[in-house]
Structure 1
Amino acid sequence: MNDSTPELKPPLWSWRRTTITFFFIVFIFCLKDLGLKFNHLPDGADPWQAAKDFFSAALNPAFTDQNPSLPADAKPFLERIGENMLATLRYAFVAMSMALPAGLILGILCSRSWWPKKLQDSTSSSFKHYLLRLPIVLVYLVSRFFTTLIRSVHELIWVMLFLAFLGDSPLTACIAIALPYAGTLAKVFSEIIDEQDARSSDHLVYSGAGSLQAFFAARLPQSLPDLLTYTMYRLECAIRSSAVLGFIGIETIGLTIKQSYENNYYNEVWTGLYSLILVVMAFDILGAHIRKRLHTAPHALLNPDPNNIRALKRHTPRWPFMRLTWTALLFTSVAAWFIGEPLNQYHSHLSRWERTKTFAEGLLPKPVRESHAWSDAIPWAENLWTTNGAEALLSTVIMASAALLLAAIFGYAFVPWASRNIASAKPFGLPSGHTSKVLTRLWSFLGWVVRTLFLIARSIPEFILAFLLIGIIGPHAWPLVIALAIHNFGILGRLWSETHENQDDLVAKQQILSGGSRNQSYLCALLPASFNRQILFIFYRWETCVRESTILGLLSITSLGYYISLESSFLRYDSMLFYILLGTAVIFISDIISVILRAKLKNS
């Protein structure tokens, strides 16, 4: 009797193959639209010489002013760099001190974990159940809509809006950073809270506690480590956003870089870039230590009587480093409001009320202001759409998509060598051939080099990278695409390598123990297991890339940001709002698409 097991064949088509095919088609379409001509400099300009002059200065950063015409009593160069770097940190801390409380409150409202158990059931057809559920669902939907709206607009566009009616004070810029950051924090906080294990809060509810009591006593404390680590990451992002404020005239390190580059003082540029990179790296390392501490269970040295509460509290292990860190961060956030020049400086002969009134009136479409009939806004909007809107929107989406897919391609090539469980003399902790101290150190050095490359790539804001690249290869779309790709290469590299390190590696270990190589265990076991998570990160970053490619239009490249800046300079606030809403609509649509595809990928 022959028992024959039917051969299992994978399906011809799946969501994974559909997703990869879709990405490939989009990438080809983007390359066709962008073209492959990278040099758009005037005749006679030599991009290779410009690149050589700029990058050779990296080996010799300036410690004194390169400008020979400065007066003798001018502030020393390094002192100005230090002051601008401190201003960058100050504005970042002020912005985060506003964004964090708002993001936490909105994040709780956007979460379903605090809902009463009986109201979480959406399948009941009872009219009474529907009436009880309606108010809480409305709060949830309004909160979700509001957070999506405020994070859909880039912080630099918020700055342009706020400067128009609040004035050119540093506080205005800080509020503009805080607003989209509050929306981003709210979205991520709500997802972190909802993804926690519900057994502890359910146990309290079944024991007689109310839903809010269970939420604040169990679910929220359970989420705290992840909330704190993500807050540290957003603080790092706020430092980069604060640096970019220099490109619109706020005195941060970005202003120093911009002025030095425009005057061809490349050595000064590199000094500013190095200072920014070092500060971002310092906060990245601090965040890594905090993540490690928060996700490591402390071990008590003594075993007191478990029934003695006082003894348990007395012998509970404590980490002075954590207390010192959070105390220093809290003190810095408070001090940033009061130490230094006043944040709320105002330099206009018009009152803020007059500016706000003029701005609000200007937001109405011009035909509506003249005729007081909203029907006249339709041909006005159609004209903006057909004249510039459609082309600018398509250009924005193409640049964002090309940059992200380019970053993903290079990310897949470099990520294995940044993952500590792969880039090791003993992959997954198992012996693989001959090992020695030299080989072990070489593997460790390789992993450190790639991880440092990721860190440097994401330390420099894409706006600054694009500004520098335009000066080298000319004003066109490719500098923006390359800048976005470099920055997202660093971010995807970090996220994907951490995904590999946290992934269950049992199948990969079996590959090694069965005689497979390092590459085989990665390609046949670890990569397929991590694929869905990596695709989720691509969708997460695409939304951000659309926002960033919008704002890169401020560098005079045709995108939505270019027309937003143009209309703002002519005080045509109605047209400016139209282009802002176009970008917001794309973010809303991309958010819906990413939610649907994430669900499909998770179930595949």
Structure 2
Amino acid sequence: MKVVSFVRLHNRFILTLLLGAVFIWSLFSIKWNADLVHSGGIPTLLQIVDGLVQPDLSPEVLKLGFESAWITLAYAVVGMTLAVIYAFIVGILASGVLTSNKMTRIISKVFFRGILGFTRAIHELIWAWLFVAAIGLSPFAAIFALAIPYGGILGRIFADMLNDVSEEPIKALKSAGASKWQILIYGYLPLIWADMISYTMYRFECAIRSSAIMSFIGLGGLGYQIQLSLQDVKYDRVWAFVFFLIGLVIFVDIWSNFVRKALTERKRSSGFSPGWRSVSFTGLLVIGSWVYIHLAENAQFFELLSDKNLEAAKRFFGGLIGLTSEHPAFLDANNWAAALKLTLETLEMSIMAIGFATIAAFLTVVPAARTIANGQLTGAKKWYNWILYGVVRIFYIFSRSVPELVWAMMIIFIFKPGLLPGAIALALHNFGILGKLWAEVIEDMDSRPIRNLATAGASKIETLFYGILPYCIAEVSYVYPLPLGSYYADNDCRWICRCRRSGNGI
């Protein structure tokens, strides 16, 4: 046991050094000189801060903010409706539970998981640009751009849930002569439906931010208003619409908590509980969103199949795969060399961003834990701990609620275009994600070892390095392989950690 523990510690130390070296390597991709900042970068920063302190809350802006928030919410709801349908069908096929033999099971899993992998690998903004080029500036361009990648993400998780179901009840149904469909309906789905709903609601929270990004293609919503305000250099309006976006994310977070509680509780409460009222509200919201898209936005689904749109789509997607070009771009070696260079820069930017976010989260996570603020973990109650807790938690909510693209559009007014503005934008968003995740890990840890350290006379620094950090590193390493620099890491990390702590498998 001692040898195994030493090997694990040794490997962890080497991995830490390796990650640190990679982060330092990414820093050398930036030329750290005065040319990084615009000549008017500092005055612009002061104007942005002034707009943050004094946002434009005029009746005109408030009215526009509520209207744009509703458009953003409606797009997210409609997009997630299609995503759930796509994920449910393809996820079941990708799990292989309906196949009859081992060979067809392998073929089904490889083929449909490949489809899910392809659809979720492309960012929703890229999908939006593709659909706008193919079908024009239609609301369905944004809706499909949300539905496809989120359907791929949900479908992959649904397939994994089905594959992780315990074999005992499935064998019992098989021995009773149940068909494949009966086993699916009466065996698999009842065991995972609560986790499916829980993860879908987490994904919906993330879809709100993505819906705001969809607005940048010109279809209205909060992102569109933020973009127009930035073009007019009206930072007070920018922050007003950003606050609307933050409020919308918080609203959805609270609402989804009620929905998950109602749908996953083992014992139904008597009467029409607040949780079940939230479920009814969800149904009305889905219907209302579809009606709004159909009537107010005048989006006709069957118009997508018109001869004009089909011809445009054929021409566009044919061009993507080189059918309409004598010299396709993917056959040009220079294009591959440029793509490789851009891939390396993207990697450097991502590493730099996660490094900045990790350092910032590490420096702020301890006061952000509720068990530190109330003295449960340390045994010492200090009044100022609650103030620090509130301030840091507000920073976490603020940073992760604003999409990376919005951060980037503001930062580019301060720094010149390059890797650094993108890295800072990603770091600001993921700072809130990592900080909240780590704080929740600290809140759920056993307080007895920490209290023993404090009783033995350990200082706060010693308690942090010998008590809190070893536990946090072990827990966070469980979800570290997730793409923490991506747009969906927030909900993946929180959902997986909570499932693990509650004893539920994925």
Shorter-chain TM range is 0.7 to 0.9
Q: Residue 175 of structure 1 aligns with which residue?
A: 144
Distance 1:98 1:267 in 2: 36
TM-score normalised according to structure 2 size: 0.84
User: 1:360 aligned to 2:329?
Assistant: no
Q: Residue 425 of structure 1 aligns with which residue?
A: 375
Q: Residue 479 of structure 1 aligns with which residue?
A: 421
Question: Alpha-carbon deviation of 1:105?
Answer: 2.5
Structure 2: give runs of 5+ residues left out of the alignment. 490-506
SS of structure 1 residue aligned to 2:20: helix
Tell whether the 8 Å contact from 1:508 to 1:521 is kept in structure 2 after alignment: yes
- CA 1:396–1:254: 2 relative to 1, 3 Å: same
Matched AA of 1:365: G
Counterpart selection for 2:19 from 18, 23, 26:
23
For residues 217-255 of structure 1, the C-alpha deviation after alignment (integer angstroms, 9 at most, x for no partner) is 354333333322222222121111111122221111111
Question: Alpha-carbon deviation of 1:97?
Answer: 0.8
For residues 150-181 of structure 1, the C-alpha deviation after alignment (integer angstroms, 9 at most, x for no partner) is 01111111111111222210112111111001
Counterpart selection for 2:127 from 129, 136, 158:
158
Q: Residue 433 of structure 2 aligns with which residue?
A: 491
For residues 530-575 of structure 1, the C-alpha deviation after alignment (integer angstroms, 9 at most, x for no partner) is 424423433312462699xxxxxxxxxxxxxxxxxxxxxxxxxxxx
- CA 1:6–1:450: 2 relative to 1, 3 Å: closer
Tell whether the 8 Å contact from 1:403 to 1:481 is kept in structure 2 after alignment: yes
Counterpart selection for 2:361 from 411, 428, 436:
411
User: For the aligned residues, what is the CA RMSD?
Assistant: 3.4
Question: Alpha-carbon deviation of 1:293?
Answer: 5.8
Q: Residue 470 of structure 1 aligns with which residue?
A: 412
Question: Alpha-carbon deviation of 1:419?
Answer: 2.6
Q: Residue 232 of structure 1 aligns with which residue?
A: 201
SS of structure 1 residue aligned to 2:6: coil
- CA 1:241–1:8: 2 relative to 1, 3 Å: closer
Counterpart selection for 1:49 from 43, 63, 72:
43
Q: Residue 299 of structure 2 aligns with which residue?
A: 343
Tell whether the 8 Å contact from 1:400 to 1:545 is kept in structure 2 after alignment: no
Distance 1:518 1:289 in 2: 37
Question: Alpha-carbon deviation of 1:425?
Answer: 1.3
- CA 1:546–1:482: 2 relative to 1, 3 Å: farther
Tell whether the 8 Å contact from 1:457 to 1:489 is kept in structure 2 after alignment: yes
Counterpart selection for 1:135 from 104, 127, 133:
104
Tell whether the 8 Å contact from 2:95 to 2:159 is kept in structure 1 after alignment: yes
Distance 1:181 1:527 in 2: 34
Distance 1:263 1:22 in 2: 45
- CA 1:460–1:180: 2 relative to 1, 3 Å: same
For residues 198-217 of structure 1, the C-alpha deviation after alignment (integer angstroms, 9 at most, x for no partner) is 55556655677566545543
For residues 559-594 of structure 1, the C-alpha deviation after alignment (integer angstroms, 9 at most, x for no partner) is xxxxxxxxxxxxxxxxxxxxxxxxxxxxxxxxxxxx
SS of structure 2 residue aligned to 1:450: helix
Distance 1:146 1:27 in 2: 33
Tell whether the 8 Å contact from 1:88 to 1:252 is kept in structure 2 after alignment: yes
Tell whether the 8 Å contact from 2:127 to 2:145 is kept in structure 1 after alignment: yes
Structure whose CA Rg is larger: 1
Q: Residue 384 of structure 1 aligns with which residue?
A: 335
Counterpart selection for 1:105 from 89, 97, 104:
89
Distance 2:442 2:260 in 1: 17
Tell whether the 8 Å contact from 1:192 to 1:223 is kept in structure 2 after alignment: yes
- CA 1:13–1:534: 2 relative to 1, 3 Å: closer
Structure 1: give runs of 5+ residues left out of the alignment. 66-75, 120-131, 301-315, 371-375, 548-604
Residue-pair matches, total? 485
TM-score normalised according to structure 1 size: 0.72
Q: Residue 247 of structure 1 aligns with which residue?
A: 216
Q: Residue 55 of structure 2 aligns with which residue?
A: 61
SS of structure 2 residue aligned to 1:471: coil
